[in-house]
Structure 1
Amino acid sequence: MKTRSKIEEEYWEALERLKSGTTKSVDTKSTRFKFTKDAVGREAGRGKGYVRYERYPLLCEAIADAEEARKKNGPATPTANAKLEQQKALKQKAIGDYNQLKQEYDLLMTEYLNVVRRNFELETGLAETKDVKIIRIPNVR
């Protein structure tokens, strides 16, 4: 029986990582993820096109089997209505987040304007006393 080369072992390890979901560079959580020879090559740290059927026939068959298993066990593609409902829910969440941030912003602006008003009152109060002279320093940026 022929032993595997070091590079072929890396490809097999990459395939196992892809199957288990503990990958280093390929996102297996993506909805567009598929078991392909290129995905295995990228996970192994090599570029596209390194895994070929002529070089590694058993590996290519294992990749094809893993893709078939993913298709059978994978989640069904959502219908158009399900996608629409999901988008509506995301929109409502974004609107809620926006409204909350707007309320927080309005509160902060109110506090800021109160501080500015208080500062103005203190400055004018000091200016009215005869003992204090206010020196304005220009804003230099």
Structure 2
Amino acid sequence: MKTSQAEQAYWDALNRLQDGTAKIVNTKSSRFKFTRDAVGREAGKGKGYVRNERYPELCEAITKAEEERKNRAQEKPNTSTKLKHEKELKIKANLKYDMIKEEYDIIMQDYLNILRQNFELQRELADSPHIRLVKRSNK
């Protein structure tokens, strides 16, 4: 069956919502549901554009997508999957910590080198017979 440009835009929007690559609608939200309005908004239209009278096949696909989303949400991951996920998160956090600690150590080393150079230059200026240092009072 041939579809119009508008209907094709709605089908494309539904596919983006199902893939999680939506541009407008936040599919990561806990409140996200596959609705005709969500598909319409993702397609760049407002509420009420997707109707059962206009696009019965599209509305049926939206209903099926919502049922699949509910079924996936009801499936609970098993304990070993949760544990594996937590271990991955811990490894990532440790790697990030190590990277930040290395950057911090490098910055502190540079800072201490600058302080040492500053101290040496001040000492050279103070020891120089041709330069007279004037100290300012803190008033």
Which category of TM-score, normalised to the shorter sequence, fits these structures? 0.5 to 0.7
What CA distance in whole angstroms lies between the structure 2 residues aligned with 1:89 and 1:17? Answer: 28
Q: How many residues align?
A: 133
TM-score by length of 2: 0.63
**RMSD, aligned α-carbons:** 3.9
- In the TM superposition, 1:1-141 aligns within 5 A as 7-18=6-17, 23-26=22-25, 30=28, 35-66=34-65, 78-134=77-133
Q: For residues 85 and 16 of structure 1, do their structure 2 counterparts lie closer, same or farther at Cα, with a shift above 3 Å needed?
A: closer
Find the aligned partners of 1:107 and 1:20 in 2 and give their Cα distance.
42
CA shift for structure 1 position 68? 5.9
- The Cα of 1:89 is off from its aligned counterpart by 2.0
Give the AA of the match of 2:130. D
Distance change >3 Å, CA 135–CA 91, structure 1 → 2: farther
SS in 2 for 1:92: helix
Is the deviation greater in 32-41 or in 14-23? Answer: 14-23
Gaps of 5+ in 1: none
Q: Tell me the percent identity.
A: 53
Q: Cα 1:47–1:135, aligned 2, differ >3 Å: closer, same or farther?
A: farther
Compute the displacement of 1:121 (Å).
Answer: 1.2
Superposed displacement of residue 38, structure 1: 3.0
Inter-CA distance 34–81: structure 2 relative to 1 (3 Å threshold) = farther
TM-score normalised by L of structure 1: 0.63
